[in-house]
Structure 1
Amino acid sequence: MAPDVSLAATPHRRLFAHFPWHVAFLVLAISAIGIWNLASASRSAHAPVWISQSSWMGAGIVVALAVTLVDHRAFHRLAWVFYAIVVVLLLLVMVKGRYVMGARRWLTFGPVNFQPSELAKLSVALAMASWFAADSEKRKDGYGLFGIVIPLGITFLPAALILKQPDLGTALIVLAVGITQILFAKVKWKTLALLAGVGVVGAVLVYPHLKPYQKKRVETFMNPQADALGAGYHATQSMIAVGSGQALGKGWAQGTQTYLSFLPEQHTDFIFSVWAEEHGFVGCLLLIALYFALVTSAVDIAGNARDRFGHFLAVGLTGMLFWQVFINIGMVIGVLPVVGVTLPLMSYGGSSVLVIYTAIGLLANVGMRRFVN
């Protein structure tokens, strides 16, 4: 008797029947805006980076789809292996890393250059999810200070190695991912208060060890105009670009701050400034609304995950998306110090694009399997 093909295909049909298509739509919409915006941002450059970005996003889509086909519990088993590999790569950066603009952040393998620090965001999210999935069930009354020593160590180790490169922005995102997961693990209020105090003291202790240019950026945060041609230049030019967009913007490819190259790092850290100058307040509201919808969709996936690992993984990935958007937009409009954080799916960068798409694939993975036994 011939096998029933329709029955054999049922599990896959059931799985993709619950695929979060709204998340896919939001990601593709932001990606399309990002490529369009990069085409304008790079019009005065020698190389049209939007073409390269399109290729990376195409590869990212393939990676995201591949990730959705594997049950997320398989990543539970591989989490610590991946974490260890990333830590080794970060150590390798310190020895063999390529210098770019005074920082050693890149590893080169043949024609490929990539930043292991981008992978650290995923590795922390996976390792912390693995830890809490196994440990949180034992702590019905919540976590005290000693209960979160190991999770803090998991987070701080790669963050410290990244800070050494130096890359303050990515180190902060890695910390934010881990701490977001810790906060969702029922930490006791007294412990939270103590952690806040430790955070303040830690910031004071870390500050003297920052690079001179990083210190200067923090010092000019409150008054960028005090050194408008020096440490405050990035923030000042960014705010000029954002403000000059007014309500409706100057129009695509009409941004003078962008075209005349007054705006620094306009393809990466300050890509939002390009968008604001050319599309104004209304365009910014549209983009922020898309990010808000993406983050709230990710929160919904985390809240409805069918297992602890999926829940904590989705929490970490949601935190990664949220904090990158929040810090990047905050720094380009002058309400946060300039620390070098890219805007997901908008800023140019192959490593960043692949990591974000992998995170989206993992989120979709968790969301799809909450309905499947």
Structure 2
Amino acid sequence: MYQDQQPGDDRHERQPTIVDVANRAGVAIGTVSRHLNGQSVRMSNRDQIERAIAELGYRRNSTAVAMKTDTSHIVGFMVPSLGEFHAGILEQLTRKMRLNGRAVLSFCHDMKPHLVREGLEFFASHRVDAVVMDGEDVVRADLLPYIEKGLVVALYDNDVEGIPVDRVFVDNRRASARAVDHLIDLGHRRVATIRGNERDYAARERLAGFRQACDARGVVVPPEYVVHGNWGEIGGYFGIRALMELAEPPTAIFSANYNMTIGALTWAQENGVVLPRDLSLVSFDDVPAFKLHNPGITAVEQPIERLADTLSSVLDARLADPAVMGRREIKVECNIILRGSTGPVQQ
């Protein structure tokens, strides 16, 4: 329902937020949230909060209230792009949600801040029950106000530190360490990695797993054995080229995702590098093409169905009590699929 604008009523003026109320009252944001949700807080805090609300003219966002009281039976799914892994999560999550009477609505933001804001507003306007998303630091500032207003969020694949949401990740560090252990077990001592972008949680964890395995087994990793592939085929292509052109090239490479592995395989084929005779290669992420490659590519398999099932269970639990701030983190184990791209080091 529209209201007439009164003289002196500046509709473009910034509206006070829950953060402003907490700052004015001198209490934590969570304390304000509990009071607004009708939960018990200390009388002194309650009086300070009510005074701050009156002084600031704070009004609860109607969309946020609707999200807490109504059920749309829609879950938002927001990712940078729908590559092989994300598309698999979307497919499985859609099936899981359908069993509970919910539909999944997807939005790709291409890592562009204005599209992140557009996507969040789109989901809010559709009063989604929750949002599942691949965490990216670029979304932090835009995501926090929606969480403060009651939006249920679950992160997968990448983390955004310091926000009260649920998290479902594969155990990137442990799986990477196991993959590198396999190479070391085969006798490789010159082991290199093509890493992802270290702004991402997954890239940092996979690199940590690589280093953990090498350190535990006494394998020295020269700085030039860690190359930046930026998650893409081009990065993988030039990453392996840089490694194989070293005076003492590695005998084994751990590639931190399948896109970079595809680029590395392209360069190897173009330059007559035969796996595993000349080089052993293991990839994080398993894709159907790896079974068809000759030889097949040894890979860390991300359990997409288990991830989607866990996300579904976490959302069911959260939506049963949406007033509770989500801080649960679940890590899912990965399998290592052994194929012909890895073999004993050639003397």
Q: More helix by proportion, 1 or 2? A: 1
Q: TM-score, normalised by structure 2?
A: 0.26
Q: TM-score, normalised by structure 1?
A: 0.25
Determine which structure has more spread, i.e. the larger CA radius of gyration.
Answer: 2
